[in-house]
Structure 1
Amino acid sequence: MKYLDEFSDPDLARRLLDQIHQVTEHSWAIMEVCGGQTHSIIRHGIDQLLPDGIEMIHGPGCPVCVTPLEVIDKALAIAARDDVVFCSFGDMLRVPGSAEDLFRIKSRGGDVRLVYSPLDALEIAKQNPDKEVVFFGIGFETTAPANAMTVYQARKLGIRNFSLLVSHVLVPPAVAAIMESPTCRVQGFLAAGHVCSVMGTREYPDLAERYRVPIVVTGFEPLDILEGIRRTVLQLEGGRHELENAYPRAVPAEGNPAAREMLQDVFEPADRAWRGIGTIPQSGWRLAEAYREFDAEHRFDVDGIRTDESAVCRSGEVLQGLIKPHECPAFGLECTPRNPLGATMVSSEGACAAYFQYRRLDLAGAQR
């Protein structure tokens, strides 16, 4: 297939669904790791077309959603400074901190700017040598290479008024943490194709073997996801637990060697807190010692900020796959895209936003 619309072909989708129904004899719980996959599943109603015994569990693969509250509060403290130009992608601007969000800082006169690339922030730093320019670097392995390249360029060009607020997290340690949780119900994973396009697949065979779960790398279009589910179910029904790459058009086994080399140079592994999940050892990156001067967290002395999550918002349970978004009492009532209580309702990849956007309001409607 050459064209994107072919990956939404309804006849091919029906054939894949028929095959999934034919091979399913038991009940299985499968987690799609990526929030982009969650949106595709909910948008196209894939979860409602599967056999009754197959449950799709929505994983913590939304980078905005897993950014912890204390990191948001650190961003707000930095952005509120008169000497700072704070740059971010748009989906972070409305993520609530303890008391406000970046839009509120901007409305009070803070210099908060939406950019489309971290290199845009570096250009702003060049043009404003009297200001400290900070880029909010969040995300999984997918977005990390561009952030690493920007810091590399800042050092190479001698641009000292640029820094990065780092909140990068890694998928394989999260898979391990999910499987080791006492509340885990996951029996198979759909791995995120864009992450594997950068990092390759070499870390996943060991996870599949250690936890005895199938892991199938998939893309984001309906046929990609259905093929990933089909392969996962075939493994589960056959008692197998292996890595399969169902996304070879984008994912070579070795990933992107140039990107991985850049990441290895600029970043080093670190323990990271995940919103709603807690700290997972060695599950993220921080700037390596050679680049530590570009670390905004240390430059602006916000290391000590600590916060408590909202008692009303249950997004942490959504991120762990313990509840579906509409099972939260606040969903669609106190918590909407216009008045979000948590990041899962704000982010374009958040599960709560997907359920609201595509009208999965079952429980909220029943409560009314």
Structure 2
Amino acid sequence: MKYVEEFRDPSKAHALLAAIARAADAIGASAENPIRIMEICGGHTHAIFRYGLDKLVHEGVEFIHGPGCPVCVLPMTRVDEAVEIARRPGVIFTSFGDAMRVPGSKGSLLQAKAGGADVRTVYSPLDALELARRNPDKEVVFFGLGFETTTPSTALTIQVAAREQIPNFTIFCNHITVPPPIKALLDDPYMQLDGFVGPGHVSMVIGIHPYDFIARDYGKPLVVAGFEPLDLLQSVLMVLEQIRTGRAEIENQYARVVPEHGNPVSIAAMADVYEERPSFEWRGLGEIDASGLRIRDKYLAYDAETKFGIGYAASTGRTPVPEPEGCACGKVMTGRMKPTACPQFGRGCTPDTPLGALMVSSEGACAAYWTYGGARLAAE
């Protein structure tokens, strides 16, 4: 299959691994003093473990798993608010499947469904809008989740709802943006990062220039990467070559998909429907300025927070919900801890009995470790 098979060629993989080893040796990287490269995408995390890239690369290269899973970075407070909306009479609450089992302090959406709430899995916000058309006597709410990858589809759905004047459809908006948490990590004096593998799908929408500040202000290289093993290996090599030659630039390995300036239609839709929130809470990172999106006043009729008086629109304010005792999701999400270092991994927290979102999300780091290591990693 074109654009797949050629990016899984074993001979090319061996050549890239050899080049990575030469670059790492030239830098002086070692197991004791590794080059720490953070991938900012849950899809990249899973690809790294699926193909065993963490074991194949030079011992002086360490992958750090960043906050690249939008379901995982959702704080328990927002899960609780979603559950509260779902349990209200007359509400049909809709969500992508990977958010259904994410636990909050008051249970998950799946548990709310088991308790009688009308919670349904959908595959796009347009599916939720169609439910609103078919159920005019119900309030249909879509759990708007995701980085810039999924934000345009929600924006376009709101525009359709506004054109058709559908009054019983709203979005519980939890869309977030990638650059602000990267800045928060770089501003953290305890985070030691040498470079980044940038998200491919997000960059397909926004282009590569929103990351310019990483190289300009912090002197760190970032390479936007694809998702096949050779994509990731080439991107790691590009990061190492920048470090070896004393450069810090934003480069685009995934140019076959990612345009330099992004997708203008998607960017226009987002600009029309959303504006920056003053701040938004992230699991493990707390409130980050201008990191979330909210629905503009012109589309406020489609904002679930406003309609239901909940979340940031609540008159009584919000009280952040702490993570369960012993759960290290925040530390794992911000690269401070590997999943296997969490005392709950494979013990109190498994895919069947999750304590945190990282174990149940399809892009979660703990799910990646479990899927490709499972009981062996839990026992180590």
TM over 0.5: yes
Unaligned stretches of 5+ residues in structure 1: none
Match of 1:317 in 2: 331
Contact between 1:326 and 1:360, CA under 8 Å: does it hold in 2? no
Aligned partners of 2:171 and 2:377: how far apart in 1? Answer: 41
The residue type equivalent to 1:16 in the other structure is L
Out of 132-141 and 286-295, give the one that drifted further: 286-295
Q: CA-to-partner distance for each residue in 1:276-333, whole Å, 9 max, x for gaps? A: 1111100111101111121111211122453222121101000110010000010001
Q: Which residue of 2 aligns with 1:65?
A: 72
Identity between Structure 1 and Structure 2 (%): 49
Give the CA deviation at 1:5: 2.2
Contact 1:201 1:254 in 2 (8 A): yes
Corresponding letter in the other structure for 1:123: E
- What is the one-letter code of the residue matched to 1:170? T
Q: Which residue of 2 aligns with 1:20?
A: 20
Kindly indicate whether residue 367 of structure 2 is the aligned counterpart of residue 353 of structure 1.
yes
Q: Would you say how many aligned residue pairs link Structure 1 and Structure 2?
A: 366
Instruction: Tell me the SS of whatever aligns to 1:239.
Output: coil
Shift in Å at residue 360 of structure 1? Answer: 5.6
Shift of 1:2: 2.6
Q: CA deviation at 1:149?
A: 0.6
Matched, 1:213 2:216: no
CA distance in structure 2 between the partners assigned to 1:364 and 1:23 by the alignment:
33
Deviations 1:220-258 (A, max 9, x none): 111110010000011112111101100000011111001
In structure 2, the gaps of 5 or more residues are 312-316
Pick aligned residue for 1:327 from 337, 341, 350: 341
Match of 1:126 among 133, 150, 154: 133
Query: What amino acid does structure 2 have at the position aligned with 1:315?
Result: C
3-state SS, counterpart of residue 65 of structure 1: coil
Partners of 2:374 and 2:165 in 1: how far apart?
51
Residue 341 of structure 1 aligns with which residue?
355
Equivalent in the alignment of 1:239: 246
Q: Which residue of 2 aligns with 1:286?
A: 294
Please tell me the residue identity of whatever aligns with 1:351: A
Question: CA-atom RMSD, angstroms?
Answer: 1.2
Structure 1 residue 166 displacement after superposition: 0.6
1:4 aligns with 2:27: no
2:10 and 2:302 mapped to 1: Cα distance? 49
Supply the AA of the counterpart residue of 1:283: S
CA contact (8 A) 1:326 1:362 kept: no
Deviation at 1:362, TM superposition (A): 5.5
Alignment partner for residue 60 of structure 2, among 36, 53, 62?
53
Per-residue deviation, 1:363 = 5.8
Letter in 2 for 1:164: I
Q: Secondary structure at the match of 2:174?
A: strand
Mapping 1:1-368, distance limit 5 Å = 2-25=2-25, 26=29, 27-270=34-277, 271-303=279-311, 304-306=317-319, 307-359=321-373, 364-366=378-380
Give, in whole Å, the separation in 2 of the partners of 1:18 and 1:360.
29
Asked whether the equivalents of residues 327 and 363 of structure 1 are also in contact (C-alpha less than 8 Å), the reply is: no
TM-score for both structures, normalised by structure 1: 0.97
Q: Which residue of 1 aligns with 2:314?
A: none
| Paired residue type of 2:306 | H
